[in-house]
């Protein structure tokens, strides 16, 4: 079976010559599809190819490259216009509409609003999120599993009152640690575009890797919502861009100052994630209540070896008393 036949079957395309034009590959009629629809269609079709990547890596790579080429071409207005002319697609005619009547308002004319400058995004400096482990409760009715108190991570541009620590069980700490590791990997995958202000996203390979990183980030970031939050928290601007429907067109349209702001925000968010990950790792390594008691007893016996003889004598005496009663 030819690679094109396999790709057509996986994507549900009708039979025909390979490769098809960009519109047919994405399932659009010639000339149809706006920026958001094209980008979403490419993401959906890449997900259809992913399950076959292990058994057919070369064929899947070709299919994803074709999808990336279609995305690069159809999301750039000049390139798309030239491609449409090559396919013989007539440009959409202009439509002239009547101007709406202007309502005149009596009174002095309003003063023109001051022109806002395109100021760079400002990231609020935050300290390393504190974690606090409090002593275990001595109440016998408490759950057998130790409860760890971890302070909530909330950053704000304005001063706030001290937040009460949230109660988290040890297994919850482990779940958060796993989710945070996944979020860190997804955040690192965004570095070539969001962490580098000059990335143009002009080649199919760059677009393909960027879309994969966006897909991973959209799946991983909700699990790390206990750390990541909206602006002005570090990483808030990156979160907004990841959630945009037409993220490729939005990133391409950013001004140089905005690209620098995104890169600055990415690095601040990366620092926050790494600090949080280190704090959770230290918290997860903390021994549980039972292990802590046994460790203290072991250290005591090593420091005072005579206690071993005292314990053995006490056990023998207890055994003698029990035998006499029987």
Q: Per-residue pLDDT for the chain (326 aa), expressed as one digit of tens each?
A: 577 788 888 988 888 888 889 999 998 988 888 888 888 888 888 889 888 888 888 888 888 888 888 888 888 888 889 999 988 887 766 555 555 555 555 555 555 444 444 434 343 444 444 444 444 443 443 333 333 333 333 333 344 444 444 556 778 888 888 999 999 999 999 999 998 887 677 777 788 788 888 889 999 999 988 888 888 889 999 999 998 877 887 888 888 899 999 999 999 999 999 998 888 888 777 665 555 556 666 777 677 777 777 778 888 888 888 888 76
What pLDDT is stored for residue 97 in this prediction?
A: 54
In Å, what is the CA distance from 41 to each residue of 38, 45, 138, 168? 5, 6, 58, 40
The helix (H) or strand (E) run that includes residue 169 is: strand 166-169
Burial class from Cβ neighbours inside 10 Å (0-12, 13-18, 19+) for residue 273 reads: buried
Give the Cα separation of 21 and 66 in Å (integer): 10
Tell me the C-alpha distance between 191 and 196, whole Å. 7
CA angle at 275 for the pair 270 and 278, rounded to the nearest 5°: 125
pLDDT at 109: 54
Query: Residue 31 — φ and ψ, nearest 5°?
Result: 90, -5
Q: Are 317 and 324 in contact (CB under 8 A)?
A: no
Q: What is the pLDDT of residue 301?
A: 67
User: Tell me: domain 3-87, CATH 3.30.450, correct?
Assistant: no
Q: Give me the pLDDT at residue 269, please.
A: 93
Phi first, then psi: give them for residue 149, nearest 5 degrees.
Answer: -95, 120
Alpha helices in 135-287 (DSSP H): 170-189, 191-194, 204-220, 236-243, 247-252, 256-285
Tokens of 244: 């945009």
């Amino acid at each position: 079976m030819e690679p094109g036949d396999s790709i057509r079957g996986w994507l549900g395309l009708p039979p025909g010559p390979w490769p098809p034009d960009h519109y047919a590959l994405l399932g659009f009629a010639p000339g149809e599809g706006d920026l958001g629809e094209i980008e979403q269609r490419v993401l959906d079709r890449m997900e259809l190819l992913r399950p076959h990547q292990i058994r057919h890596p070369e064929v899947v790579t070709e299919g994803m490259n074709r999808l990336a080429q279609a995305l690069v071409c159809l999301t750039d207005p000049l390139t798309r216009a030239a491609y449409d002319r090559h396919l013989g697609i007539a440009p959409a005619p202009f439509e002239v509409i009547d101007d709406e009547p202007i309502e005149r308002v009596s009174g002095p004319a309003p003063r023109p609003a001051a022109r806002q400058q395109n100021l760079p995004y400002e990231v609020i400096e935050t300290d390393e999120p504190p974690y606090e482990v409090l002593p275990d409760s001595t109440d016998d009715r408490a759950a057998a599993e130790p409860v760890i108190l971890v302070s909530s991570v909330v950053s704000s541009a304005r001063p706030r009152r001290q937040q009460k620590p949230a109660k988290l069980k040890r297994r919850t700490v482990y779940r958060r640690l796993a989710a945070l590791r996944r979020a860190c990997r997804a955040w690192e995958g965004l570095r070539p575009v969001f962490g580098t202000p000059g990335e143009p996203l002009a080649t199919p390979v760059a677009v393909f890797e960027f879309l994969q990183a966006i897909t991973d980030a959209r799946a991983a970031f909700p699990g790390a919502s206990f750390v990541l939050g909206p602006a002005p928290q570090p990483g808030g601007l990156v979160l907004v861009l990841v959630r945009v429907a037409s993220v490729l067109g939005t990133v391409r349209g950013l001004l140089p100052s905005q690209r620098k702001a995104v890169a600055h925000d990415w690095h601040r968010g990366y620092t926050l994630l790494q600090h949080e990950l280190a704090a959770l790792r230290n918290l997860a390594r903390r021994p549980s209540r039972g292990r802590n008691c046994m460790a203290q007893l072991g250290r005591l016996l090593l420091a005072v070896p005579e206690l071993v003889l005292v314990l053995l004598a006490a056990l023998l005496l207890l055994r003698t008393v029990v035998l006499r009663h029987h």
